[in-house]
Amino acid sequence: MIVDERLVTYINSLDTGNTAMLDQIEREATADYVPIIRKEMQSFLKFLLAMKKPARILEVGTAVGFSAILMAEYDPVPCQIITIENYEKRIPIARENFKRAGKEAQIALLEGDAAEVLKTLEGPYDFIFMDAAKGQYIHYMPEVLRLLAPEGVLMSDNVLQDGDITQSRFAVERRNRTIHSRMREYLYELKHHEGLQTSILPLGDGVALSVKKEEEK
């Protein structure tokens, strides 16, 4: 954990919670060891939705649909969400969860490798939530930026790898070195891209927030 656990526990204790359906889906995901966004990230995501009010949302990485349902529920304006998932076992669960939550008309799930699916999409999207395979973020980046609207927000989750991102690649387990180096490359590109303004926050497992600058006329 990046931030002191007691502090996180206290902050989460102040949270007003989610809908009963979201709470149920979260309990089921936890029981099945399916990773979903942490409590503090849920709160932060709701804050961003209230501030940005995105009409078109793209999510890369559906899992069981928890985040997509949360965005559909707490976006203060009517929105349409496209979400991409490649793991076959989770796709029917996500579709069923959308139906249970009454959001199946609002959320469209596209099956397949995000690297390929992204190429088929037409933007712009006001808000893009990246929560997929961490080693692939750098490969998704060109298409994601193509699809992101001017002044749109790109939210990239789990970017600090429980603090391991600060370690030398030789201090990281061999099986994690590729992800480690690719995430470092991704964060560097986000911070140095001329068309983005990016802030990296030690929230949850680390989140990068990027705003696409308007093109100069």
AA letter at 127: F
Is-above-0.85 flag for pTM?
yes
Which whole-number Å values give the CA distances from 179 to 83, 99, 182, in the listed order? 23, 34, 5
204 lies in some domain: yes
Strands 207-212 and 196-201: antiparallel
With tokens 């529920």, the residue in question is 73
Report residue 179's pLDDT band, with 50, 70 and 90 as the boundaries: confident
Q: Any idea what the CATH number is for the domain that residue 105 is in?
A: 3.40.50.150
For range 153-165, the mean pLDDT: 84
For range 66-70, the mean pLDDT: 98
Q: pLDDT tens digits for 94-140?
A: 999 999 999 999 999 999 999 999 999 998 999 999 999 888 999 99
* Domains of the chain: total: 1
Cα dihedral sign, 147-152-157-163? positive
216 lies in some domain: no
Q: Which domain holds residue 157?
A: 5-211
For range 56-83, the mean pLDDT: 97
58 lies in some domain: yes
Which whole-number Å values give the CA distances from 149 to 55, 107, 157, 189, 212, in the listed order? 11, 19, 19, 18, 7
Q: Walk across the sheet containing 207-212 and list its strands.
A: 107-111, 80-85, 56-60, 125-130, 148-157, 207-212, 196-201
Lowest mean pLDDT among 1-5, 80-84, 167-171, 187-191: 167-171
AA letter at 205: D
Report residue 1's pLDDT band, with 50, 70 and 90 as the boundaries: low
